[in-house]
Amino acid sequence: MLALETGMRRSEIASIKWQHINLVKRTLLIPITKNGEAREVPLSSVAISLLKSLQNGTEAKVFNITAHAITIAFGRACKRAKLSNLHFHDLRHEAISRLFEKGLSLAEVATISGHKTWTMLRRYTHLSAENIAMKLV
């Protein structure tokens, strides 16, 4: 759920620390990213609720799991659900598409996802023709 709400990579999710979450500002700092630049991710109401439900007050990290373990667990869940050819990274594609469908601008989505160019961001965007048609009414 957090991946769908934030568009974060599995390595970013695995490394979330409570000290990087600001529930008042509704943001999450990712100090180390794939492109080497820290970024702040705005948190939706769903993401805030999820994070609050996970608070235990004793651990430094939100999830006691590695990025590789996320991949393994996701693969097992897909197998149990009889889903084939679905990967954890596909959640990032879906999240970014949803952000555009909510009406966020290119700059806003790029800020959330951490993409530096439209060319790279476009590869992650799979907009629904049906949703676009609804805007044309």
**From the candidates 10, 39, 98, 124, which is the catalytic residue?**
124
Torsion of CA 64, 66, 68, 71, to 10 degrees: 40
Is 92 catalytic? The answer is yes
| Distance separating alpha carbons of residues 120 and 58, to the nearest angstrom | 39
Kindly report the pTM of this predicted structure. 0.83
Which overall architecture, per CATH, does domain 2-135 show?
Orthogonal Bundle (1.10)
Report residue 118 as tokens: 């439209």
Domain boundaries, the chain: 2-135
**From the candidates 9, 10, 39, 98, which is the catalytic residue?**
9
| Distance separating alpha carbons of residues 49 and 5, to the nearest angstrom | 11
Rg (the chain; Cα; Å): 16
For the chain, the farthest-separated pair of C-alpha atoms sits apart, in whole angstroms, at 51
**From the candidates 17, 25, 34, 76, which is the catalytic residue?**
34
| Distance separating alpha carbons of residues 56 and 102, to the nearest angstrom | 32
**From the candidates 10, 39, 92, 98, which is the catalytic residue?**
92
Per-residue pLDDT of the chain (137 residues; tens, 9 = 90+): 999 999 999 999 999 999 999 999 999 999 988 878 888 999 999 999 999 998 877 789 999 999 999 999 999 999 999 999 999 999 999 999 899 888 888 888 988 888 888 887 877 777 778 877 877 88
Is 124 catalytic? The answer is yes
Is 116 catalytic? The answer is no
